[in-house]
Copies of this chain bind each other. A is one copy, B any other.
Amino acid sequence: MNLQTPRGTRDFMPQEMEMREKVFATVRKVYERYGFRPLETPAFEEMEILTAKCGEDVEKQIYKIGESSYGLRFDLTVPMARVVASDASLPKPFKRYAIGRVWRRDEPQKGRFREFWQADVDVVGSAGMLCDAEVIAAACDVLSELGFKGFEVRLNNRKLLDAMVEKAGVAKGKTGAAFRALDKIEKIGEEAVKEELKGKAGLGEKEIAAIMGFTKISGENGGKLEEIGKAVKGNARGEEGIAELKGIIELFGKYDVAKKCKLVVDFALVRGLDYYTGPIFEVKVSEGGVGSVAGGGRYDELIQLYGAPPTPATGISLGIERILEVMKGAKKDEKRRLVAVIAVKPEFRDYALKVVQEFRKAGIPAEPDLMERNLRKQLEYANSTGAGFVAVVGEKEMKAGTATLRDFASGKEETVAISDAVKKVKG
């Protein structure tokens, strides 16, 4: 029998899972601190819901459920859009977070899986740039709480991108392909992007030069926005896009977390998904060399696709897998907060059970031997599971109501009353 997990999926063994749980708990805590509330939706949805605006690349990657019209969700935004559209009574802004699995039948590669987790936070029902600033700040605060020191937020705007390609003289039918090429600039480099703009997108030399010129505007954010402003002058959408970017930059500056964070306007940032309409953003960490660990943007036209009235919305998604990859690299093996209570002989088992329960009552993880093993084997097991403490009990301890507590971290061992042992482990 084939015991491997399906291609592109993984088992998470306890040690790794404990780290994942910690990250999820931090995400939840920070998002809740920002006033976001959890929403959970089914793992699968009607295909017509999923494919309403996902783009053909993603559509090909959806896992379909046999003998039904359902497919596994490929992100958490589409199900949320369905929920909002189906319930007009939801107070606005609707602020929700969601942490969960999504599935894409993509070609698995290093750090990319077919089953992976997303952690999204979205504000629905407001067009104000304070919403965008809030979701970016929330994502940065999560990263900061997880111990990341250096991060950078890259910002662009779809309205401005539209204006750029228009000013460059690109025909309407070619803009999609042009954006897809531009999106790869960091992955494949400038020359390859030019090739693709020429080949796949079918752009002329002049158009390509104009677009590449825009992406090369350098300097501080203020100067960049001024220069692009001159370039797209008179294009209403472009000017709107610039005003939005200025709004986010001003508002984000009021957040404490902005001090730990570099905000960079990047005119080459596109982001793949079809549904963005305004500001788009990505967060990078300097640790671990994994690039972007969060990304999002405004999608003011997605929710109305599901029959709702026009409903502006913006959000950001944390790339949990990448974040964990960086954290795993930095992590050293730690002892667990667990007490293995060891009876030196079977006749002290009942006393050991009593000691176990005293620890548990104090909220400290504790376990008795479950295999009637000898002292040495019990110690070996405690070691293999990473227990931080053992409490050994024998005749002397049972009579005195004590336990011999060994702290593996310090190597210290002492025989103390059970209540004192509990205190010592509590620390």
Contact = CB atoms under 8 A, between A and B. Distances in A.
Among A14, A21, A86, residue most surrounded by chain B Cβ atoms (within 10 Å): A14
B357 A256 contact: yes
Copies of this polypeptide in the complex: 2
A126 interface: yes
B67 A1 contact: no
A411 to B, nearest CB: 22
A327 interface: no
Contact of A35 (B43, B66, B338, B357): B338
B66 A34 contact: no
- Majority-rule SS of A interface residues: mixed
A49 B131 CA distance: 46
Interface in A25-43: 28-29, 32-35, 37-43
Interface in A49-94: 49, 52, 63-68, 70, 72, 79, 82-83, 85-86, 91-93
A357 B35 CA distance: 12
A361 B256 contact: yes
Interface stretch (A286-294, A368-376, A412-420): A368-376
A398 interface: no
Contacts of A370: 93, 95, 123, 126, 128, 130-131, 134
A10 to B, nearest CB: 7
22 contacts: A1-B52, A6-B44, A6-B70, A11-B39, A12-B38, A12-B39, A13-B39, A14-B38, A15-B37, A18-B37, A20-B40, A33-B360, A33-B366, A34-B366, A35-B338, A35-B340, A42-B115, A65-B66, A91-B384, A123-B370, A130-B349, A255-B353
Interface of A: 1-6, 9-15, 17-18, 20-21, 28-29, 32-35, 37-46, 48-49, 52, 63-68, 70, 72, 79, 82-83, 85-86, 91-93, 95-96, 101, 103, 115, 123, 125-126, 128, 130-131, 134, 141, 251, 254-256, 306-307, 338, 340, 349-350, 353-354, 357, 360-361, 363-368, 370-372, 381, 384-385
